[in-house]
């Protein structure tokens, strides 16, 4: 993942687990994380472009790496003080507005719609596209 400081991430999750704050994420984050974990596993174990490897050997690679990825996602899904938000059909209207208002990509606008549902506008993200949203406070875990 893009230049993430693993020690800073560890501290963040320790503080979350200790109940120093509550955090929210959406099912979209799990989709993105699962895909990135899959590509990282492929990159670590196969030469060349992981997307090319995935395209050529999709079933085998998913069969090989999904047990570990699923275990990681299940642990995160039950992490203390972390609330998982559903994304629903009604969020599409908000997504459309956020795309136009803040010039966000659809998936980012859908993340923002989820943030509106829980009235939480502090965001841990490496994605600078969210800087177009003036009322967001974006924090990074950069090295």
The per-residue pLDDT for range 33-89, each reduced to its tens digit, is: 999 999 999 999 999 999 999 999 999 999 999 999 999 999 999 999 999 999 999
* Domain harbouring 29, CATH code: 3.40.50.1010
DSSP 13-82: HHHHHTTSS-EEEEHHHHHHHHHHHHHHHHHHHSSS-HHHHHHHSHHHHHHHHHHHHHHHHHHHHT-TTE
Which structural domain, as residue segments, surrounds residue 94? 6-139
Does the structure show a pLDDT above 90 at 25? yes
The per-residue pLDDT for range 88-128, each reduced to its tens digit, is: 998 999 999 999 999 999 999 999 999 999 999 999 999 99
pLDDT confidence of residue 50: 96
Inside any domain, residue 69? yes
The number of distinct structural domains making up the chain is 1
Does the structure show a pLDDT above 90 at 143? no
Inside any domain, residue 1? no
Does the structure show a pLDDT above 90 at 4? no
| pTM of the model as a whole | 0.83
């Amino acid at each position: 993942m893009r230049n993430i400081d693993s020690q800073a991430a560890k501290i963040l999750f320790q503080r979350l687990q200790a109940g120093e704050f509550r955090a929210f994420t959406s099912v979209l984050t799990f989709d993105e994380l699962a895909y990135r974990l899959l590509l990282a596993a492929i990159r670590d174990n196969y030469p060349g472009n992981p997307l090319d490897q995935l395209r050529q050997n999709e079933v085998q690679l998913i069969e090989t790496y999904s047990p570990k990825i699923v275990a990681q996602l299940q642990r995160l899904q039950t992490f203390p003080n972390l609330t998982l938000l559903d994304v629903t059909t009604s969020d599409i209207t908000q997504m459309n507005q956020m795309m136009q208002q803040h010039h966000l990509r659809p998936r980012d606008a859908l993340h923002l719609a989820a943030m509106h549902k829980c009235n939480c506008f502090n965001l841990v993200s490496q994605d600078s596209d969210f800087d177009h949203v003036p009322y967001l406070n974006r924090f990074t875990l950069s090295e």
